[in-house]
Structure 1
Amino acid sequence: MENVSTILTLDRIKAREIEEAKQTIRQDFFDVLLSGNLISAEMLTTLSESHGMQKNYAYYCLLIHIVPVDSESYPSMVIRKYELEHVAKKCVHLIHEMS
């Protein structure tokens, strides 16, 4: 039982780390894209295709500012940060599903 729980925990940690790495790579791509630091159109095509974007599609930039309703209701800043990250992930998931 202990071995199974350890393996499951490690699998969850691994999956979370992979997702965080993907998110960081995606964020870096958009930082480069929005800052205009692309070297060539070929680089843009390669990077956008690696993120599942089609060059013939129209894309829009969406900025969401998440403000907690009652920041005093959280017992600690860690819990507040966790809750806000959870809301942000839900927003990203909904936008991804709708698009």
Structure 2
Amino acid sequence: MEPQVLLRCREDDLDLIKEVLPHATQQYTENIKQDVNITVATDNYLPADTCGGVELIALNGRVKVPNTLESRLDLISQQLVPEIRNALFGRNTNRKFTD
């Protein structure tokens, strides 16, 4: 919900990002009812070995939203740790909370 956003992507995806960015910006403006200026970082790309996705940066780097495949996989793996623990070792009756 910031008016100025910096978007980082892989250098290989730059053409695709420039193609879909106007439509994405228009949809954002229609849904949020607030204008946004998205600048694509052409001097600081995501690493080439990243599988894909983007990273949004706002407030001079204080807010960073990674939306790459790797960051999504990290997030889901952290959420699945309790289920994996239970599947491997069974439920621990001494645990008060099941994170």
Q: TM-score range by the shorter chain?
A: under 0.3
Higher percent of residues as strand:
2
Higher percent of residues as helix:
1
Alignment TM-score, normalising by the size of structure 1: 0.27
